[in-house]
Amino acid sequence: MGEWTTFQCGSCEYQSRPVRWGVGVHNPSRRFMPALCPSCKEYVEVDLTGADMVVDQFTCNLCGSEVDFIDRRDAYGCPRCSGPSVRMIQGSEYW
């Protein structure tokens, strides 16, 4: 099931835009995954629908730079202050 996720830093008050993560509820062919854009220093969503993970390059939907995918874990690094206390906030709605 796809969920909306926000990344929030406890140190500097950074908060990402809501990012889609997972497979769509109403359209299972839609797939999204969060990634970190090193250029614009944001957590962003990447559309994986129809993508080949081995061949395709994945870019930021805000600035077009290549992104780094992230794994699911308890805490993440902050793209703004580099603090280790960014946590995921799951939204109450599924997409």
Structure confidence by residue, pLDDT tens digits, 63-79 = 999 999 887 666 789 99
Burial-class residue 49 by CB neighbours within 10 Å (0-12, 13-18, 19+).
exposed
Q: Is the pLDDT higher at 26 or at 36?
A: 36
What range defines the domain where residue 48 resides? 3-94
| Number of compact structural domains in the chain | 1
pTM, two decimal places: 0.83
- Asked whether the beta carbons of 18 and 93 are under 8 A apart, the reply is no
Burial 54-80 (b: 16+ CB within 10 A, else e): eeeebbbbeeeeebeebeeeeebebbe
DSSP 8-state symbol, 76? B
pLDDT digits (tens, 9 = 90+) for 18-29: 999 899 888 888
